[in-house]
Structure 1
């Protein structure tokens, strides 16, 4: 879906030159940029640097997936249904799911994939502290027998295959697991072998000719991590990058429209309100804050129309959500009377600081005294999770892990959720989330998910503002690049530079 720019924000020439220099020389690949066989390596500018040394047990796993270097037992199709990957088939019997491991797969260190390798990787994830969020509220054990692996949960779980599609449950070779660390360098099974990681600056991958899925078209990938959105856009404009992740809205209008692709994302900008302490412990003040916020002006002003006003936590990328949503139950509001609140957010997503400033103005107009605290995400996440702010503005993927929103809702709003920024502990919400988690896949589960969304919204613990559309930049010479709403795919075996 291509869009013409809505309006242009012209930057000083010096700013563009400075941004471009940030990228200059960063994409120097072996052999001067092209492989010995004449193919061109793919140069990628990504937004967020690694936060956990590219450990697959963290959100860094999605980088490994987007580079086609680490793989899971199953993948998801466009509808969120499980499809074979490192497992060729599976069947359920009560609380146990048995998966048949694919023959002919080798790890990047040359060792063959076995059922024991799957047990090692999944057990390490299941016993990690903290667990990957896809396993929030899930206790599982994994055993091997010949070429099969059996995953058993404490209670029957209809979503085990979808859970095992999460990049955080990637299968790596024995060499990856040394002590408490997990090292993905040279230990995956994908089309590209991770060969080098330079801290939070760059990464390099070479084509793995032994890939079970067939030889990749490109000889390798060179990645540079560029948190600055202006610099990422400049990399595309100046030809320094072939693929640019997450072009800021303000920069998209300055690019050739033919190089910009806009994809509706299952990602919601949400203001999480702290329900455990501070002014927003009072439900009436949470209701007052919600009523004071005007998301439409944010979509028009900050996002230049490249977003959708939120009606709930789940947006248009979850195609069935709107048809099953019920009108929200309103709650009484109280006058703020100068209540002082601090909103936290981060700079890694270029629009969020500007959104926070707009929220500050809107809440001040309603009678709140509002302060902002803005840092890089790596420097603010721990405080946000600890409830250090009265409110936290976050751009949050809603079906990132399993293709099913129940996992996101549990992680963010269950009293035991690992990403509970609102510090919410509400028995009605917990009960609704448990019902959603237990419901069988299909219509019944979707209805239960929407009932859980309604229970969360009734607390005003979270105020959904808008649903993002990701803007991705692809150079004219690049072909076969993925445009994935779930942010799992980017460079695939079919991606190459002409």
Structure 2
């Protein structure tokens, strides 16, 4: 198979042009109803509009890993079930040999380049992931060694006990690619993955063509392929669904949902929470009493009603209703400071516009804080121009959306990364000994139920500092043609199309 890669001078110019169109008429060629070239069953192609273009040339280690997963290209040894537990994928079973060692038995499967999925190939792929710079988020703080163990098994040993390793290996950033993928630079997933669809053509940051992988271990996909377009503008995605130019459009903005026929709207809860992060290291919110004042000023129900128009739940904690076990185990925060009077305290509140609802959320929060007595300057930028300043503590407050179970499915992972002294994504710059102690205890806890209990105890410690104010637990809104069946809207936002998705 030949793969053609077409470069364009500026993918962002292409996306900007699309954003000016009322729809995407003519962008997608119709190719439904044709038989596959090997005489297999007929299957229409799916026309899919995605919100974010590949940012790293489809590298499987960074943000693009989820993009590959959502298009049905890549897979890991495991996947996550509806309750966040590990379920078989390329590994059909596993067992724990001791605290640090696990043995995984592989199923019979093939890579898209025609070679077999072997223990050596899997071990080499995982070893490459451990050597990636930066390392995939799922491997943060984890050292592991993978080696082949006979003809169908692989043994993985971690430097310290890792009770959630099977969940960790479900991460899109730990997808298994064939040896051919690993040359110079980032691994190339084009024609080297294991999923039901393989990439056959990439057009810069504007589009990609995928064909059905006929030897997929889970059975031949019902669609013959996917024509994917990356369309940043949410209005353009909604218009494309309304005019029939696409079959599936992800991330329909709340403001556009009312413009679509209800029969084309699909909703599902997610583990994504929109939160207000308060800078605990410097500035006014170093004072816990002013943080308490900010928390008391925020009315999350007004945000859910006014901004999300009901397509969200009021902020209850770091984990929301889509984390099915969280509410029954939630612990009430203790030891919160008494609120002080803001008395005109000046603060800078920042957010990003990649998610169209966030600037609206920020405006509502700005008004609520001002009503409480703060003076609030609002700053909105594109995310890539904002992240470094936010992590450096250059803002007093920050509003962002974070999927609490995206990287590993382990509830403790986001606590360590976002709220511990050594956390790599600690936007609140929180460094609290009680929080670190609770997170460390949770991280060392074995057993699913016991680990969940420990995670909720750590959540209570974090919320007790008022470093974070949960605002809303978001829902997925997708536009789906009434002719399409089998779209997969999972709470972790890792999937969209699969072998059973069809038109």
After TM superposition, is the score higher than 0.5? Answer: yes
What stretches of structure 1 of length at least 5 have no aligned partner? Answer: 1-16
2:454 pairs with one of 448, 451, 454: 448
Alignment counterpart, residue 257 of structure 2, candidates 231, 237, 252:
252
Alignment of 1:121 with 2:125, yes or no, is yes
Match of 1:64 among 56, 62, 68: 68
Q: So what's the TM-score if we normalise by structure 2?
A: 0.91
Alpha-carbon distance between aligned partners in 1 of 2:420 and 2:27, rounded to the nearest angstrom: 43
Contact 1:236 1:473 in 2 (8 A): yes
Aligned residue in 2 for 1:381: 387
Query: C-alpha separation between the residues in 1 aligned to 2:49 and 2:113?
Result: 27
Structure 1 window deviating more from structure 2 (379-388 vs 439-448): it is 379-388
Q: Which residue of 2 aligns with 1:435?
A: 441
Name which of 284, 287, 303 aligns with 1:282. 287
From 135, 138, 153, the counterpart of 2:139: 135
Please state whether the residue corresponding to 2:210 is helix, strand or coil.
strand
Q: Does 1:74 align with 2:74?
A: no
The residue that corresponds to 1:269 in the other structure is 274
Runs of 4+ in 1 over 6 A off after TM superposition: none
Cα displacement string for residues 90-147 of structure 1 (whole angstroms, at most 9, x for unaligned residues): 11122111112222x2211222212122122212222333322222222222222323
Q: Is 2:297 the counterpart of 1:292?
A: yes
Assess if the C-alpha contact under 8 Å between 1:20 and 1:238 holds in 2. no
Deviation at 1:489, TM superposition (A): 1.5
CA distance in 1, matches of 2:409, 2:32: 36
Deviation of 1:442 after TM superposition, in Å, equals 2.3
Structure-2 change in CA distance of 1:422 and 1:130 (3 Å): farther
Task: Quickly say closer, same or farther: Cα 1:140–1:370, change in 2 above 3 A.
Answer: same
Return the alpha-carbon distance in structure 2 between the equivalents of residues 462 and 308 of structure 1. 17
Kindly tell me the number of residue pairs found equivalent between the two proteins: 478
1 CA distance for matches of 2:25 and 2:247?
Answer: 14
Q: Deviations over 1:32-85 (max 9, x none)?
A: 566454532101111122222221111211111111110100112212222221
Q: Is the 8 A contact 2:23 2:237 kept in 1?
A: no
CA contact 1:43–1:241 (8 Å) conserved in 2: yes
Deviation digits for residues 228-267 of structure 1, max 9, x if unmatched? 1111111100001101111111111111111112211111
TM alignment of 1:133-172, pairs within 5 A: 133-146=137-150, 147-172=152-177
> 1:161-204 deviations in whole A, cap 9, x for unaligned?
00001111000112222223122111101110112222322121
Which residues of 2 match residues 417-432 of structure 1 at below 5 A? 417-432=423-438
Following superposition of structure 1 onto structure 2, how do residues 48-447 of structure 1 map, counting pairs within 5 Å?
48-92=52-96, 93-103=98-108, 105-146=109-150, 147-329=152-334, 330-447=336-453
What's the RMSD between the two structures over aligned residues?
1.8
The CA deviation at 1:28 is 3.1
Contact 1:133 1:418 in 2 (8 A): no
Structure-1 residue corresponding to 2:482: 476
Q: Distance in 2 between matches of 1:160 and 1:368?
A: 45
Q: Distance in 2 between matches of 1:161 and 1:321?
A: 21
Distance 1:131 1:168 in 2: 9
Contact 1:436 1:448 in 2 (8 A): yes
Secondary structure of the residue aligned to 1:277 is: coil
Write the deviation string for residues 292-331 of structure 1: whole angstroms up to 9, x where unpaired. 1111111111111221111211111112211111222231
Distance 1:376 1:35 in 2: 41
Deviates more, 1:430-439 or 1:231-240: 430-439
Of the structure 1 ranges 53-62 and 350-359, higher mean CA displacement relative to structure 2 is found in 53-62
Instruction: Check the 8 A contact 1:356/1:393 in 2, yes or no.
Output: yes
Tell me by how many angstroms 1:21 deviates. 4.5
Q: Does the 8 Å CA contact 1:51/1:378 hold for their aligned counterparts?
A: no
- SS across alignment from 1:236: helix
Instruction: Give me the whole-angstrom Cα distance separating, in 1, the residues matched to 2:261 and 2:293.
Output: 43
2:496 paired residue among 483, 490, 495: 490
Closer, same or farther: CA 387–195 of 1 in aligned 2, 3 Å:
farther
User: 1:35 & 1:360 partners in 2: Cα distance?
Assistant: 54
- 2: CA distance, partners of 1:95 / 1:202: 43
Are 2:320 and 2:326, in contact at CA under 8 Å, matched by a contact in 1? yes
Instruction: Return the alpha-carbon distance in structure 1 between the equivalents of residues 303 and 441 of structure 2.
Output: 34
Q: Distance between the aligned counterparts of 1:90 and 1:39, measured in 2?
A: 35
CA displacement, residues 337-380 of structure 1 (integer Å, 9 cap, x when unaligned): 33322222111211111111111111112222212221222332
SS in 2 for 1:312: coil
TM-score, length-scaled by structure 1:
0.92
How far residue 396 of structure 1 moved from its aligned partner, in angstroms, is 1.0
Relative to structure 1, the CA distance from residue 442 to residue 83 in structure 2 (aligned partners, 3 Å threshold; closer, same or farther) is: same
My pick for the range that moved more, 154-163 or 363-372, is: 363-372
Report the secondary structure of 1:478's partner residue. Answer: coil
Change (3 A) 1:213 1:275: same
